[in-house]
Structure 1
Amino acid sequence: MPSLIAAVVIDELVRNGVKWFVYCPGSRNGPLGFELARRARAGEIKFQVRLDERSAAFVALGITKAGGQPAAVVTTSGTAVSNLLPAVTEANYSDLPLVLVTANRPPEVLGTGASQTVEQTALLTSQTRHVQQVWSGESFGPEANGILRSQVCRALGIGTGQLLGRPGPVQLDVPLTSGLPPAGEIACPPGRSDDAPWIRMPGAARRTTSGSTAVDLRRPTLIIAGDGTDPAALPPRMPVMAEPTVELGDRKRLHPWVLDYVDPEQVVVYGRPTLHRNVGRLLARDGVRAVLASGPGDWIYAAPDIEVLSGNPRFHGEADAAWTEELGLTDAIVRGQWTRVMNETADRIGLGVARAVLAGLQPGDLLWLGASNPIRDVSLAGVVPAGVQVLSNRGVAGIDGNVSAAIGAALSAPDRTVVALLGDLTFAYDASGLQTGQLEQVPGNLILVVSNDAGGGIFELLEQGHTRYRQEPYGDTFERIYGTPQRVDIAQLCGAYDVAHRRVELGDLGIALRQERLARRLSVLEIPVARTALRDVHATARQAVDAAFASASAEVADAALELELQTPELTGNLEYS
């Protein structure tokens, strides 16, 4: 009986588009594991075994994010399920259809104190779209087959957004009477003909608002695109301040600091722009009309400062040429000063690593960006080359699971080179993601670039990093609770997992990237950089940009004065006949 249930669950998942399964060893989920192994041998699915459920869930998340199709993580019962929570939370806030297949003890032993029995259908409910405990009757006939398959279809329909409109993680809890392997060849009860799902879905649902909002582009308008933005929804021919994970094609991408030096009358926000604080400051300005182009999500970005929530803004009119020219000139000034400052100082900080990584990318590559500074450094240091896809865990923007998720992305796209830019703490936090069984596929197309500044560099730029908090009476407290330098030897850590490692100076990173691209192996490039200089570099860049705009304003004022002096003054009365 357990093997029949496992066969039907896996079969219906495959029919609903799940082709990747990440499996965590356990006793209770054994029937699911045997069925997955059988289908993998037949070439019907992709199959990876991972020891750590937390890491496995992020591998599946990376596969889902890179491939655009739901992937499944399969676990045993008990605390194994609770270890899925970090990845499930990220999938929830990123609207990713991650599928959780959790084996469970039979219902009749739940609540009896039996080993490994927890309320696992309630563990993840705050972060999942749907939890379905599947059929677990005593006999298995045609009726049971239909019930079980329809339950899987409903869960996948909700998870992919075909039923409720917002994709996200779903849990299929599978009670199994034992974890014993099948006694012989299992004849899976038949599904629909032509490998179709048991229930065909009508397509992704679309939630609409009661009305759309008119946006007149003749007014000075700024477009902001955060993570999760659909590029097709953006107004054509308008420059956009977009986060690195938003693909803009040949559209003009504005530097984030442009927001600090222009005065739009209205701002239209797409997605979740949580990377730069100046977005919130701009929306809070008096006289700025803030329009949020809402997606299918059930939460509203920057709600206190949003004036209008619109499901589908209607753009009309053409942007004034003087306004778009101002945006372009402002962007040029900001980028010019940033380039000058980085040329003088970025050889010793993470910004230089980001710039070198961007220079080493090629069309078709996939760039995975870690949280905290790496994604911000890319946003500030340059522009992602055309044809490069950028992914990052921006749902809840945590450092957890980035190594594992990057591995999942590389497994999902074996024909592409995947470069992951991570900080040292992000890497160390998920270093167990490098652990791979001897019989498992290791992605030979993944290069992990670790910008090692010996601690938490992001706090150097936050309020806590101000000089006054790094002196008495605080003493070493900042370094202890924010800097948090670690005694981790990255080379030895990689050696323990049999992963290639090289410690490279920043000036040699471009060459090292080219060499690792050709080597076709999972590798780690460790780049030593300074952390304490980061705040000063940002302050220097700000001063340079401020000075450049002050100089430009003075030149404009001088030109206006000269024009006024050259214009003859009209006096007396004019008579017309």
Structure 2
Amino acid sequence: MRPESTVQAWGPSVIAAVVVDELVRAGIETFVYCPGSRNGPIGFELSRREAAGDLRLHVRLDERSAAFLALGMTKATGVPTAVVTTSGTAVANLLPAVTEADYSRIPLVLVTANRPLAELGTGASQTVEQTQLLTSQVRHVQHLQVGAEPAPDTNARVRSQICHTLAIGRGRLHGRPGPVQIDVALPSGRPPATRSVPFPSGRPEGRPWIRTALRDRGAAAPHDIDLTRRTIIVAGDGADLDAVPETVPCVVEPTVDAGGRRTLHPWVLDHVRPELAVVYGRPTLHRQVGALLARRDVSTVLVSDGDDDWIYAAPHIDVVTAHPVFGGVPSPSWTEELGHVDRAVRHAWSQMLCDDGNRRTGVGVAKAVLDALEPGDLLWLGASNPVRDVSLTGRLPSGVRALSNRGVAGIDGNISAAVGAAMACPDRTVVALVGDLTFAHDSSALQSGVLEQVPDNLIVVVSNDAGGGIFELLEQGHPVYKTAPFGNTFERIYGTPQNVDFAALCTAYAVSHRMVETDELGTALRAARRAKRPVVLEVPVTRTTLRGVHTAARELADARLNPTAPPAGSPVTAEAAHVSALTS
């Protein structure tokens, strides 16, 4: 690199070199590159800097999958990862992952090559208004345009704009962290004439151009939480429970680090009546939580730093605070009541899964996976049933971390994100538990170039129930919708079974595949750990009995607790009323 005054012109290779250099200085260690023409100069510079040991580079064909790969890496490590694309529809393909990153507060960095602004509206190939494509889902869009005759301060301007954008993405300036876009206008995609391109210098000693300290929010006003009241913590994705006393009873989602706490089964909420619910993170999994937070006789405290959306299921929030102060201790009678109900519910599920037929369901697969995990494992949970099944059938073993795309909870990109997590954490075994539709939707994530790194620590467990099992448990899964006058409507628009040969699909991607029964899954997972290559374990299960399994588990728990009536506001009660009204 050279002082700015010695660089005669800012051609595409110089622009690319400055952008990559400042990104590296600002802490971006990993780049996922999608081949293209306009972004070629950036690709050459990334390759050069990887050879110098300055960064890690991965190449993927599909921009949608690449963005989810980068998302998984960022989620697993907490360090922003950049995904680099060419212009045109390549940028539009980033939207699904960007949306997930937005709502799950993941600082994904999008580096999009563009044509010069003068070419917009001229009909030039692969030219679209791409700075507006993602604006509703990114924290900031920074367009970098260098003129034909750069001003003396061009280097400082470009580098400071990059630092400013990354500070926003990390949540250090405007609010919560999230995805940001750096749109780089390049006069051409012409590759460099030499391997090493002279470019203007950055700050001495490899420092970023601007160092941005964490945003100072000031001292938040404290709010007292009286634990002598019947209090329960509800912790959704993104929750940080470090400041919560370990004696406080908690219902947590699988992606929350419970910190060694003995957590409660979500169905406990159907059988108890807290006075106070304290909400951390963004709970979205269980209707029991929504029913609790909607109760007018339960006070709700939302713990928020002010940058979160309101919890959708808590219309009667009493207090929003960033500084809860816990005082007192939970009464023994309250903790004993909760423990009694929790044991009854978990015993009911344990009894249900002793039956061979019941184990041949998604909940049986989830329990088998939980039983086979080892300390240090990372569990990636697909949307819909897998993440819920894990929550219902057991607890994460000690030393196991769970991740999931809970921002918008879609089935898109789950395999790509799991691959990203595995590549970012090579010293951990990553077990991904997904449904068959999730796997089919994103199976191209298993594709990798012959020169690319392949995650040898990834095991994908596909719970194959031939369709959308979660809908069996919702109102539309009631038997009334599977008979006249509805006919096969349920199967066509909800069940949606697919005619996909997963074994052949894995063979096409050079990935190991094995069909196993639920009872064989523990042994198969142990063998897969030794394979040192990506392994897909397909477990055939049924979804037609899943509704009955849930109903029977609830009846077993109710019988053990000796209720006099169905719990008020429970999903079963609400559904019964809905179906009764429909058929009356």
Length-normalised TM-score, structure 2: 0.93
Give distance in 2, aligned partners of 1:298 and 1:526: 38
Amino acid at match of 1:14: V
Amino acid at match of 2:382: G
Secondary structure of 2:562 counterpart: helix
Aligned to 2:435: 423
Give distance in 2, aligned partners of 1:483 and 1:198: 54
Secondary structure of 1:464 counterpart: helix
Give the superposition deviation at 1:40: 1.1
Aligned partner of 1:330 among 325, 338, 341: 341
Amino acid at match of 1:158: I
Give distance in 1, aligned partners of 2:344 and 2:156: 64
Give distance in 1, aligned partners of 2:216 and 2:408: 25
Aligned to 1:239: 249
Post-superposition CA distance 1:337-375 (Å, at most 9, x none): 111111124321011111111111111110000000000
Give distance in 1, aligned partners of 2:158 and 2:74: 24
Give distance in 2, aligned partners of 1:207 and 1:490: 54
Post-superposition CA distance 1:117-173 (Å, at most 9, x none): 111000000000000001322134651110000000000000001112310000000
Aligned to 1:255: 265
Amino acid at match of 1:432: S
Q: Does 1:72 align with 2:82?
A: yes
Amino acid at match of 2:459: I
Give the superposition deviation at 1:429: 0.3
Post-superposition CA distance 1:494-529 (Å, at most 9, x none): 111111100111111111100010111111000000
- After superposition, the Cα gap between the structure-2 partners of 1:88 and 1:208, relative to the gap in structure 1 and judged at 3 Å, is farther
Secondary structure of 2:456 counterpart: coil
- Alignment check: 8 A CA contact 2:227 2:326 kept: yes
Secondary structure of 1:367 counterpart: strand
Q: Does 1:485 align with 2:497?
A: yes
% identity of equivalent residues: 62
Runs of 4+ aligned residues of structure 1 deviating over 3 Å after TM superposition are: 139-142, 204-209
Aligned partner of 2:29 among 11, 19, 26: 19
- Alignment check: 8 A CA contact 2:72 2:416 kept: yes
Aligned partner of 1:448 among 460, 467, 491: 460
Secondary structure of 1:39 counterpart: helix
Structure 1, 389-398 or 343-352: larger mean CA deviation: 343-352
Amino acid at match of 1:227: D
- Alignment check: 8 A CA contact 1:165 1:207 kept: no
Aligned to 2:444: 432
Q: Does 1:182 align with 2:182?
A: no
- Alignment check: 8 A CA contact 2:293 2:315 kept: no
Amino acid at match of 1:473: P
Q: Does 1:116 align with 2:126?
A: yes
Gaps of 5+ in 1: 554-577
Aligned to 2:93: 83
Post-superposition CA distance 1:181-237 (Å, at most 9, x none): 11112123211112111001112454776x332211110001100000012132332
Q: Does 1:340 align with 2:355?
A: no
Aligned to 1:570: none
Aligned to 1:32: 42
- Alignment check: 8 A CA contact 1:165 1:205 kept: no
Give distance in 2, aligned partners of 1:205 and 1:9: 28
Secondary structure of 1:232 counterpart: coil
Structure 1, 236-245 or 25-34: larger mean CA deviation: 236-245
Give distance in 1, aligned partners of 2:423 and 2:161: 29
Give the superposition deviation at 1:258: 0.8
Aligned partner of 2:276 among 261, 266, 278: 266
- Alignment check: 8 A CA contact 1:228 1:272 kept: yes
- Alignment check: 8 A CA contact 1:365 1:419 kept: yes
Give distance in 1, aligned partners of 2:152 and 2:49: 23
Secondary structure of 2:148 counterpart: coil
- After superposition, the Cα gap between the structure-2 partners of 1:239 and 1:552, relative to the gap in structure 1 and judged at 3 Å, is farther
- Alignment check: 8 A CA contact 2:236 2:284 kept: yes
Aligned to 2:61: 51
Aligned to 1:476: 488
Aligned partner of 1:170 among 180, 188, 202: 180
Aligned to 2:136: 126
- Alignment check: 8 A CA contact 1:445 1:522 kept: yes
Amino acid at match of 2:244: L
Q: Does 1:522 align with 2:553?
A: no
- Please report the RMSD computed on the Cα atoms of aligned residues, expressed in angstroms: 1.4
Q: Does 1:62 align with 2:87?
A: no
Amino acid at match of 1:352: G
Structure 1, 422-431 or 162-171: larger mean CA deviation: 162-171
Aligned to 1:276: 286
- Alignment check: 8 A CA contact 1:238 1:252 kept: no
Give distance in 1, aligned partners of 2:259 and 2:315: 32
- Alignment check: 8 A CA contact 1:425 1:456 kept: yes
Post-superposition CA distance 1:57-101 (Å, at most 9, x none): 000000000011000000000000000000000000000000000
Amino acid at match of 1:146: A
Amino acid at match of 1:407: V
Amino acid at match of 1:319: P
Q: Does 1:289 align with 2:278?
A: no
Secondary structure of 1:174 counterpart: strand
- Alignment check: 8 A CA contact 1:424 1:452 kept: yes
Aligned to 2:329: 318
Matches within 5 A, 1:368-407: 368-407=380-419
Post-superposition CA distance 1:33-59 (Å, at most 9, x none): 000111111221111000000000000
Secondary structure of 1:70 counterpart: coil
Secondary structure of 2:198 counterpart: coil
Q: Does 1:357 align with 2:369?
A: yes
Amino acid at match of 2:158: L
- Alignment check: 8 A CA contact 1:23 1:75 kept: yes
Give distance in 2, aligned partners of 1:208 and 1:399: 40
Aligned partner of 2:169 among 151, 159, 168: 159
Give distance in 2, aligned partners of 1:329 and 1:166: 39
Secondary structure of 2:197 counterpart: coil
Give distance in 1, aligned partners of 2:288 and 2:333: 24
- Alignment check: 8 A CA contact 2:516 2:538 kept: yes
Aligned to 1:558: none
Give distance in 2, aligned partners of 1:548 and 1:223: 25
- How many positions carry a matched residue from both structures? 552
Give distance in 2, aligned partners of 1:256 and 1:308: 23
- After superposition, the Cα gap between the structure-2 partners of 1:520 and 1:295, relative to the gap in structure 1 and judged at 3 Å, is farther
Structure 1, 122-131 or 135-144: larger mean CA deviation: 135-144
- Alignment check: 8 A CA contact 1:229 1:270 kept: yes
Secondary structure of 2:291 counterpart: helix
Give distance in 2, aligned partners of 1:5 and 1:139: 13
Aligned to 1:307: 318
Gaps of 5+ in 2: 1-10, 566-584
Amino acid at match of 2:444: S
Amino acid at match of 1:386: S
Secondary structure of 2:354 counterpart: helix
Matches within 5 A, 1:179-258: 179-184=189-194, 185-206=196-217, 211-258=221-268
Give distance in 2, aligned partners of 1:490 and 1:204: 48
Give distance in 2, aligned partners of 1:141 and 1:438: 43
- Alignment check: 8 A CA contact 1:121 1:173 kept: yes
Aligned to 1:511: 523
Secondary structure of 1:224 counterpart: strand
Highest Rg: 1 or 2? 1
Structure 1, 188-197 or 89-98: larger mean CA deviation: 188-197
Give the superposition deviation at 1:416: 0.7
